[in-house]
Amino acid sequence: MIKENLARINEQIAAAASRAGRKVEDIQLVAVSKIKPVELMIEALNCGQKVFGENYVQEVQEKRLALPAEGKIHFIGHLQSNKAKIAAEFCDMVETVDNMKLARKLNHHLDLLGRELDILIQVNIGEDPAKSGVEAEETEQLLEEVLTLPRLHVKGLMTIPPFENTPEESRPWFSGLRKLSEELVGKGYFKEHAPALSMGMSADFPVAIAEGATIVRVGTAIFGDRPAK
């Protein structure tokens, strides 16, 4: 099942990229494996899927120790600063940094570990009170402050838009994150690389790709429905 699901999702990513005039190699699929057993992650890894998304630090630690080294873990859930140590030790990227307290905690633990970590700044582009993330107009200030922390490497932006009834209704939020990234590039940020944009999930990732997503987070369409935690 997972092999077929991955093939279908990768075909849809390629088709969306083609429609947008983009290279499929510029879009990374994160297979969201939260609440799924590591055996399914290993099955996906054996099918060529390299990057997995986790929401809970307890699972991150357990799965990192069981997952072969070629598998990479992105933390994509809300991360409390008191759980930063586990994320710093076991994650390959944290996509959800949205405040300096968390950034400093990560940097501190990375310093003790002698590690460095790629991160994304999570932006609450839709100003949804149910979602985490820095407000769009405060993103530059947070970015400027995070850039002073030597163990963290800011690779771009991430968002989880407000729930919409159709994928097309999410387009303005994806467009908004892209425009914000373009504004930051215009101000001199991300000189060494174009900013990554993590946006789009199982229901709406083709629209996100059309609006510039470089990372899409797909879980249910790969691993099937998950029970409530």
Q: What is the pLDDT of residue 128?
A: 86
CATH number of this structure's domain 2-223: 3.20.20.10
Q: What is the pLDDT of residue 76?
A: 97
Q: What is the pTM of this model?
A: 0.96
Give the largest CA-CA distance in the chain. 46
Rounded to an integer, what is the distance from CA 143 to the centroid of its chain?
Answer: 17
Q: What is the Cα Rg of the chain in Å?
A: 17
Q: Are 181 and 155 in contact (CB under 8 A)?
A: no
Q: What is the pLDDT of residue 144?
A: 97
Q: What is the pLDDT of residue 227?
A: 63
Considering only CA atoms, which of 61, 73, 77, 180 is closest in space to residue 118? 73
pLDDT in tens, 168-196: 999 999 999 999 999 999 999 998 889 99
Residues in the chain with pLDDT < 50?
A: none
- CA 177/CA 173 separation, integer angstroms: 6
- CA 37/CA 40 separation, integer angstroms: 6
Check residue 37 and give left, alpha or beta (phi > 0: left; psi -120 to 50: alpha): beta
